[in-house]
């Protein structure tokens, strides 16, 4: 147990509340900046009166291969919760492919041997180079190796992005990929795109928010049911004309020849879900592997060898087979505080609940202590986020204030998804509203923090709402279409995120250490403020006690 007479509270039971404004970065740009455009008197007050660090939330600061890689909620919360920077999915997979380790694994050998003679090797996943959930180069490497090892038939089921990359960029990936397939195909090797659809319509649901997406994906990829097209390009062009929707929202499609699907999944086939990020890969993995699965009628369940690119849930072991081991994250902040007897609360709505629990705890399901921890999930609405941009921020705030007033908790973490989930829709007006709703909630929360004589650390996990228009890198100006309208951006940004220290009671007990910091520095900062010595493996604290 810790000496709770140490630290800024000097023995009083007062909370530190870490508020994660998901997808709210910092940018001086005016055009397309929904954060600046919104009426946010609370954030304005924080910027004017309280200390703020600009934290790195992308690239190598969160374990990604380079600083050209945008951050995301998963690696961001890993860093926040772990106090450390670990090599993350994209980097792990790229390394395993480069050194060939992925192809010497027992799983890869089983996948190949299972379908080598009479079966089909299927690849399902997000089809882009966004490097957040997947990378198309990983897919190409797997296909080439499958051919090299004697696989005769490959089918690819593409989930259109338009979220981590340009909103209408699908053909920029489909057309070169078709050329790639033509270059590897010959009399003994046959590879084709078999099915697809928008990532927010089929297959890639997360946190069990909308299982009907997975059901649609099952019918599309496995059963070959849906609208037939001769090529993926034809499907995209037709749907764009008919629906006016961006890539992530395009309906499912099936590629057919002579009136039959070219790539249904059948007994004796092998299947790899090639996303390396876990949140949107777990449910489809359950549909393939869970023998007691009853969430929807799968109609037909083929006997296949199924594998994920990584193990998406290390505690539940989903899936049972995977090609690359995820980072082993130990010594997390949650576990550290439990060992020292601190009471903790984690709260968010469904869309980000896993981030303040599973990802915060180092890709670990469950609590470190049933006694010292409480997790609260507020159910998310199942409607397009731009239609209700405030999401569940008011309900989260109601419950959060109730828990602050209880006086039970030493450390509280909360995620507000608005800036990210609404930002991903590309709807500037809705995202502006989402920021205003969040600001109203912040005002209420900070009053409760003051009443409890606590401290709030207000930060974010990556940018999104701060850059809602595509930017021309050469001119640094927003991109317009042929009609003079700004082109919507639906992906994360490379901008830093704020880290405000809201403290009206204890500022004389510590001082800030100026420097260059990332999300991983918050853990050591928190435990320093409560009077503990951070583990030596953690990134350094941004404050020191006087």
Task: Find the catalytic residue in 2, 27, 66, 73.
Answer: 73
Query: Which residue is it, tokens 């829709």?
Result: 425
CB < 8 Å & 24+ apart, contacts of 105-112: 105/323, 105/324, 107/307, 107/321, 107/322, 107/323, 108/145, 108/323, 110/305, 110/321, 111/270, 111/272, 111/305, 111/307, 112/146, 112/149, 112/150, 112/151, 112/270
**Pair of tokens at residue 176:** 């070169």
Supply the Cα-derived Rg of the chain in whole angstroms: 24
Q: How many helices (H) and strands (E) does the chain have?
A: 16, 21
Nearest to 516 by CA among 529, 499, 531: 499
Give the chain's end-to-end CA distance (angstroms, integer).
Answer: 23
The residues pairing with 469 across neighbouring beta strands, listed in sequence order, are 488
Burial of residue 268, with CB atoms counted within 10 A of its CB: 0-12 exposed, 13-18 middle, 19 or more buried:
middle
Report the distance separating Cα 351 and Cα 420, nearest Å. Answer: 10
Strands, DSSP E only, in 161-269?
190-198, 228-229, 253-257, 260-261
Q: Spell out a b/e string for 65-85, using b for 16 or more CB atoms within 10 Å of the CB, else e.
A: beeebbbbbbbbbbbbbbbbb
Tell me how long the chain is.
546
The residues pairing with 160 across neighbouring beta strands, listed in sequence order, are 198
Backbone angles phi, psi at 520, to 5 degrees: -65, -15
Is position 73 annotated as part of the catalytic site?
A: yes
Strands, DSSP E only, in 258-407?
260-261, 270-273, 305-310, 322-324, 344-349, 373-378
Max Cα–Cα distance, the chain, nearest Å: 77
Active site residues: 73
């Amino acid at each position: 147990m810790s000496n709770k007479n140490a630290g800024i509270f000097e023995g009083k039971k007062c909370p530190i509340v870490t508020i994660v404004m998901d997808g709210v970065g910092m940018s001086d740009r005016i055009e397309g900046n929904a954060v600046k455009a919104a009426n946010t008197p609370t954030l304005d007050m924080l910027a004017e009166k309280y200390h703020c660090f600009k934290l790195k939330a992308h690239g190598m600061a969160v374990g990604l291969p380079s600083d050209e890689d945008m951050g995301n909620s998963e690696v961001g919360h890993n860093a926040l919760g772990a106090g450390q920077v670990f090599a993350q999915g994209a980097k792990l997979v790229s390394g395993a492919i480069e050194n060939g380790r992925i192809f010497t694994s027992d799983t890869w050998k089983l996948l190949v041997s299972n379908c080598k003679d009479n079966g089909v090797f299927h690849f399902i996943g997000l089809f882009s180079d966004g490097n957040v959930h997947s990378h198309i180069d990983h897919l190409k490497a797997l296909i080439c190796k499958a051919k090299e090892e004697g696989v005769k038939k490959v089918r690819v089921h593409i989930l259109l992005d338009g979220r981590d990359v340009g909103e209408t960029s699908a053909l920029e990936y489909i057309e070169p990929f078709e050329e790639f397939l033509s270059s590897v195909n010959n009399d003994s090797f046959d590879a084709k795109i078999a099915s697809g659809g928008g990532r927010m319509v089929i297959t890639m649901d997360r946190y069990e928010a909308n299982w009907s997406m997975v059901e649609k994906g099952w019918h599309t990829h496995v059963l070959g049911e849906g609208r037939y097209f001769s090529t993926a390009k034809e499907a995209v062009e037709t749907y764009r004309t008919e629906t006016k929707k961006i890539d992530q929202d395009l309906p499912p499609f099936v590629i057919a020849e002579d009136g039959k699907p070219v790539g249904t999944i059948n007994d004796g086939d092998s299947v790899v879900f090639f996303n390396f990020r876990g949140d949107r890969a777990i449910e489809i993995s359950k549909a393939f592997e869970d023998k007691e699965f009853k969430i929807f009628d799968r109609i037909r369940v083929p006997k296949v060898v199924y594998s994920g690119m990584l193990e998406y849930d290390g505690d539940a072991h989903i899936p049972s087979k995977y090609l690359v081991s995820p980072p082993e994250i130990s010594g997390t902040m949650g576990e550290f505080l439990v060992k020292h007897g601190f009471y903790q609360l984690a709260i968010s709505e469904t869309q980000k609940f896993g981030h303040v629990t599973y990802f915060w705890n180092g890709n670990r399901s469950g609590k470190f202590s049933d006694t010292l921890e409480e997790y609260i999930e507020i159910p998310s609405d199942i409607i397009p986020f731009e239609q209700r941009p405030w999401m569940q921020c008011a309900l989260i705030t109601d419950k959060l204030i109730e828990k602050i007033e209880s006086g039970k908790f030493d450390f509280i973490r909360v995620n507000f998804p608005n800036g990210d989930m609404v930002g991903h829709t590309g709807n500037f007006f809705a995202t502006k509203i989402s920021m205003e709703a969040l600001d109203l909630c912040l005002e209420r929360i900070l009053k409760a923090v003051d009443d409890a004589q606590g401290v709030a650390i207000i930060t974010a996990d990556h940018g999104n709402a701060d850059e809602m228009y595509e930017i021309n890198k050469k001119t640094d100006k927003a991109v317009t279409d042929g009609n003079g309208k700004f082109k919507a951006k639906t992906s994360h940004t490379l901008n830093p995120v704020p880290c405000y220290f809201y403290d009206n009671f204890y500022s004389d007990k510590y001082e800030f250490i100026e420097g260059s910091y990332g999300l991983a520095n918050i853990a050591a900062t928190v435990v320093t403020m409560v009077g503990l010595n951070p583990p030596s493996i953690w990134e350094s604290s941004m404050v020191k006690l006087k």
